[in-house]
Amino acid sequence: MRRIGAAVLSLGVFLAIWKLATVIGGYPEYILPAPEVVAERGWRAVGSGVLWEHAGVTVLEIVLGFAVGASTAVITGVALGKSVLIERVLSPYIVAAQAVPILALAPLLDIWFGGGLLARVAICALIVFFPIAIATMVGIRSTDPQLVEMLRSLGAGPAQRTRLVEIPSALPVIFGGLRVGVTLAVIGAVVAEWAGASVGLGVLINIANQGLFDTPLMFVALVSLAAIGLAFYGLVVLVERRLIRH
């Protein structure tokens, strides 16, 4: 209850500052709309079904992209953490792929994957991959070597040691990467939609900004993205608390 109260209080303060800025600055709606204007525009977007249509596609891209990127990253991170040879072979390519801006890669991936949902999922998965893979590798390597040696002395094979000791020990670090990754998944979905899509919250932002000059609608899309990111982040935290007993 204290956390909920603090969140509500901080939201109230933020809205009050926002409203005060519009009143003192006297900004027109196309520059900085007031909170009640954004709320009214959001209500109309919900009522017309426009917001649901775009938000539903973006949520699907986030879920699929995060699932593909996170699962691939965890498997790769375990391999990197357990094998120095695999790390030496794969690390340069992983770092190089991360160093290239996703905005530069997005049009190319859009061409390769045909410009549909698969392309946007691939872009989202790629931006999610790196932090989770590195977190998993660090977590695997931080396992207490005495526990590993004890299992080895009891006859446990590499797969058993990984399943019984290394992955459970690495879970706190892995979930740290998942927290970062799930927020990056939202960014990846928007970037993918900007690269080439006809529906999605990223597309709605472009339509509101460049086509309709509807700044309140653009704020509605941004608030929706923030809410989606918070919801998925909270879901990851909830799963973490269920699996890890501090």
Secondary structure (DSSP) of 186-223: HHHHHHHHHHS-SSSHHHHHHIIIIIS--HHHHHHHHH
Q: Which of 238, 216, 210 is CA-nearest to residue 18? A: 216
Q: To 10 degrees, the CA torsion angle through 77, 82, 86, 92? A: 50
Residue 112 placed within a domain: yes
Q: Find where tokens 């797969």 sit.
A: 159
Residue 22 placed within a domain: no
Q: Which of 147, 158, 181, 165 is CA-nearest to residue 74? A: 181
Q: Which of 48, 60, 11, 83 is CA-nearest to residue 186? A: 60
Residue 141 placed within a domain: yes
Instruction: Provide the residue range defining the domain that includes 112.
Output: 48-243
Type of residue at 39: A
Residue 33 placed within a domain: no
- Model pTM score: 0.89
Q: Which of 228, 203, 222, 218 is CA-nearest to residue 41? A: 218
Residue 110 placed within a domain: yes
| Alpha carbons 181 and 73: distance in angstroms, whole number | 10
Residue 28 placed within a domain: no
The token pair at 135 is 């977190």
CATH code (residue 122): 1.10.3720.10
Residue 14 placed within a domain: no
* Helix intervals (H) in the chain: 2-25, 35-48, 50-82, 84-99, 102-112, 117-141, 145-153, 158-161, 167-195, 201-206, 215-243
Q: Which of 128, 141, 138 is CA-nearest to residue 72? A: 128
Q: What is the pLDDT along the chain (246 residues), one digit of tens a residue?
A: 777 788 788 888 888 998 998 888 888 888 889 999 999 999 999 998 899 999 999 999 999 999 999 999 999 999 998 888 888 888 888 888 888 888 788 888 878 887 788 889 999 999 999 999 999 999 998 887 777 777 777 777 777 777 778 888 889 999 999 999 999 999 999 988 888 778 899 999 988 887 668 899 999 999 999 999 999 999 999 999 988 875
Residue 13 placed within a domain: no
- Calculate ∠ Cα 96-102-105, nearest 5°: 80
The domain total for the chain is: 1
| Alpha carbons 197 and 165: distance in angstroms, whole number | 44
Task: Please state the φ and ψ torsions of residue 30, each to the nearest 5 degrees.
Answer: -75, -10
| Alpha carbons 223 and 96: distance in angstroms, whole number | 33
